Structure 1
Amino acid sequence: MSRAYEYQPHRLLRKRVRDIPSGVEGVLMAVITEDVSDSPGFERLVDLAYIRKASGREFTTAVENVEPA
């Protein structure tokens, strides 16, 4: 069974966080396992964090790049 597009629990959900590489802060809205492969015969699953900035726009980053703000 594929885990693609599966929501993951995270201790910082709905809390202010910082994306370490960019330094951008926002609220962690979701952590989702997504298949980012470009081949239908091969799965490459990664956990992406969805962060909403103060402007209301969301961006993604690797969940390992998220820390409390």
Structure 2
Amino acid sequence: MSERYEYQPHRLLRKRVRDIPSGVEGVLMAVITQDVSDSPAYVRLVDIAYIRNKSGREFTTAVENVEPA
């Protein structure tokens, strides 16, 4: 992958979701696959969910931690 991140489609985009570990609810704004490796020789990709809570502040969590609210 030439980019260090890539937007992904997700069935819950723009819908109300809950972050399971924290219990915080918000709107799923994006799911992005990011290369979090610190070396060009080793690629480590993770899917990160960006959630906007009711105050307007966004936070991230693993996409596996997201469920419909």
Both structures adopt the same fold (TM-score exceeding 0.5) = yes
The answer as to 2:41 corresponding to 1:63 is no
**Residue 37 of structure 1 corresponds to which residue in structure 2?**
37
Q: How many residue pairs end up in the alignment?
A: 68
User: Stretches of 4+ moved more than 6 A in 1?
Assistant: none
* TM-score, reference length from structure 1: 0.92
Give the match's secondary structure for 1:34: strand
Question: Partner amino acid for 1:5?
Answer: Y
Which segments of 5 or more consecutive residues in structure 1 lack a partner in the other structure?
none
Q: How far 1:40 moved relative to its partner? A: 2.6
CA distance, structure 2, for counterparts of residue 33 and residue 4 of structure 1: 8
**Residue 23 of structure 1 corresponds to which residue in structure 2?**
23
CA distance, structure 2, for counterparts of residue 32 and residue 26 of structure 1: 17
Which segments of 5 or more consecutive residues in structure 2 lack a partner in the other structure?
none
Q: How far 1:41 moved relative to its partner? A: 1.9
**Residue 12 of structure 2 corresponds to which residue in structure 1?**
12
Of 16-25 and 38-47, the range deviating more from structure 2: 38-47
CA distance, structure 1, for counterparts of residue 22 and residue 36 of structure 2: 21
Aligned Cα root-mean-square deviation (Å): 1.1
User: Once the two structures are aligned, what percentage of the paired residues are identical?
Assistant: 85
